[in-house]
Amino acid sequence: MKKTKKLNSPLLVLVILSVILLIKLGVFRTLVYGEVSWLRLVAIDFPVFMLLPVLLFVVLRRISPLVALIYNLFVSALLVSIVWYERYFQTVPSYFDLQQGDQAGSVIETVSLLYAPLDFLFFADIVVYIALFVLYWKRPLAMKNRKKISVAAIVLVVLSVATTVVALQKPILDMTLFAKEQGFVQTQLVQAAQQNSASAQMHLISDEELAKLKGNEFVPYTEHDRFGIAKDRHLFIIQVESLQNFAINQSIDGQELTPNLNELLGDSLYFDRMFQQIGAGNTSDAEWLLHMSLLTRGLDPTVNYLNGSPLPSLVNMLNERDYYTTTYHADKLEYWNRAELYPSLGFDYAYSSDEIPNEDMIGLWPSDRTMFEFAEGEIQEQIASGKKIYANLMTVTSHTPFEVREQDKYLELPEEYVDTYTGNYLQSIRYADEAVGEFIDFLKAEGIYEDSLIVVNGDHSGLHGRPMTKEDNELMADLLGHTYSLKDRFLLPFIVAAPGALESEVNSNFGGQVDMMPTIMNLMGIEPQAPMVGHNMLQYENNLLAVRYYLPGGSYITGDHMYLGENARYPERYYDFETMERIEPEAEIIEAQQERALKILNHSDALLSNFLDDDEETETGEES
């Protein structure tokens, strides 16, 4: 009898799986990197993803279709997660970002804004795996053509190891560009290897050298403009979720977006050119920059690598001056490792969802109004004790996807803005402003407004990524009177009110989030006890900022220009910072500024290494 070929040949099954995986990776590269590059796909991406099922055949000599089905679901879910992450944050995630399943609840509402019908194609091949499972679930595919499969396994191992070794020799300047050229899995391995290296290079520089790198002449701290004019005042810092600078003094149909903050400007210094500098830690990075004046790790949240030692923070300096220090956030302390961060920063007490009532819910959290009302009760008791107080209050209602209830919508938006991402953002910011205004009214009613230094700042941008459709960008252009640009996205407000000591003033010195702490310290008459990377924005006009993670590696910003390095989708770009018009790159100027920016990054990394676990120190000089 003639022998018939059966479909349960492992070699034939592997060929089928290989074709499916190649197609899936091709779609993935198109969506994330904007191109396929079949050579890189076949030589770099494909081997590491195909290696596991092939090795299972070789080692076990058989494999269950159920195992193949589970592996397929894992790969599909991983690729879709990366696609969604890149659409929102416009960079590929690190292995840390992908393992934050316990924090998914804080961003789950955004998923509906990120998926596209094409994404379901990643799971279309599940039909093939189910068919294999139904046909062969009682008899796993047995080893045949062992020699051919063993050869395939050896080739895949060699390619996977070789491409990883090559990638390990290169620095990660930009996560997405590196993943495009070296492979996503290889990028994660390189990142882990670099972060676990204990060979951090120390590149400390003096305060005088640091000022010079930024284009300034160093001035002793006690000689700075308005040093100590808010000494011994209560300090209230209000960090508003996703608040971007364009919202300040902005109106739509005659309605102010931030009427209460605009009123506060009458007693305030308003710094209108403060640039976002957070990394993968997002809001927790904003807290770090505010309280430490050191740059973040960039690719990973800084707070996850602290060694637990006390930090030379703004909080601890206030503790030494007999302040009672607290922080308020209507979320779990476990998110962003705040349970470790806050004791190191020195807060006397951290109020979280454990104490803040789970009431008046908007989205996933208690409303900002609930948080402020709870804080007001605590502050009354603290004031009664006779101590000076520092309260760090963080809002959350204006978190993406910016949905508030009908009764909390204070704006009557034009029809074209209703139920759009942009319109929802404007409503949520208007709500946050109302909650902040009510808290300021509380300070006035308690008679402590005139005795306080009140700071309001945004933690990071809100309008960005895939949720910003063509329609949303057109709405923003209509609102602003110009094209919505990277400058509009990354500039955050920094408002410092000292009633009776400060009058309405706009300061347009260019700065970043790292400069907030030195500026606050100057007004409070506090001299630094440890080196800082930021500087007092009242004293220094020039600045040079390097931004990790949210801009391509090698990027920097001055008060005059913005240089963006090459990334996976775009070549290098150079902008006039005032007009945001493209200008021709000047190679000599760019190279000189990049060298200065890298020295500042290395200096910050060297300072940061003192507070990280020994086996988690950053290998400085490798990424910018």
Annotated binding site: 241, 283, 399, 459-460
Which CA distances in Å does 546 have to 281, 499, 568, 575? 16, 34, 19, 15
Q: Which DSSP symbol is given to 458?
A: E
Report d(CA 205, CA 191) in Å as an integer.
26
Show the CA angle centred on residue 524, arms to residues 521 and 529, nearest 5°. 45
Name, in order, each residue with C-beta under 8 angstroms of 131's C-beta and a sequence gap of 6 or more.
none
Q: Which residues are annotated as a binding site for substrate?
A: 399
Largest CA distance in the chain: 103
* Angstrom distance (rounded) from CA 307 to CA 613: 5
Helix (H, G, I), strand (E, B) or coil at 499: strand
Quote the DSSP letter at residue 202: P
DSSP code at position 121: G
Distance CA 458, CA 103 (A): 21
Q: Report the b/e string of 343-378 with b at 16+ CB within 10 A.
A: ebbbbbebbbbeebeeebebbebbbbbbbbbbbbeb
Rounded Cα distance between 271 and 247, Å, is 14
Is the bond leading into 312 cis (omega within 30 degrees of zero)?
no
Query: Using CA atoms, how far apart are residues 598 and 622, in angstroms rounded to an integer?
Result: 9
**Taking the mean position of all CA atoms in its chain, how far away is CA 22?**
31
CB atoms within 10 A of CB 487: 19
Q: Which of 163, 176, 283, 620 is flagged as catalytic? A: 283
Q: Give catalytic status of residue 283 as yes or no.
A: yes
Distance CA 90, CA 173 (A): 15
* 3-state SS class at 518: helix
**How far apart are the C-alpha atoms of 150 and 215, rounded to whole Å?**
61
Cα separation, 201 vs 620, in Å, equals 6
537: exposed, middle or buried (C-beta count within 10 Å: 0-12, 13-18, 19+)? buried
Is residue 270 a contact partner of residue 477, using CB atoms and an 8 Å limit?
A: no
Alpha-helical runs (H) found in 481-527: 486-490, 516-524
Question: Around 98, how many Cα atoms within 13 Å sit in the side-chain half-sphere?
Answer: 19
456-485 per-residue burial string, b: 16 or more CB within 10 A, e: under 16: bbbbbbbbbbbbbeeebeebbeebeeeebb
DSSP characters over 122-159 = GGTTHHHHHHHHHHHTTSPEEP-SHHHHHHHHHHHHHH
Alpha carbon dihedral 326, 327, 331, 335, in 10-degree steps, equals: -100
Bridge partners of residue 235, in order along the sequence = 390, 453
Active site residues: 283
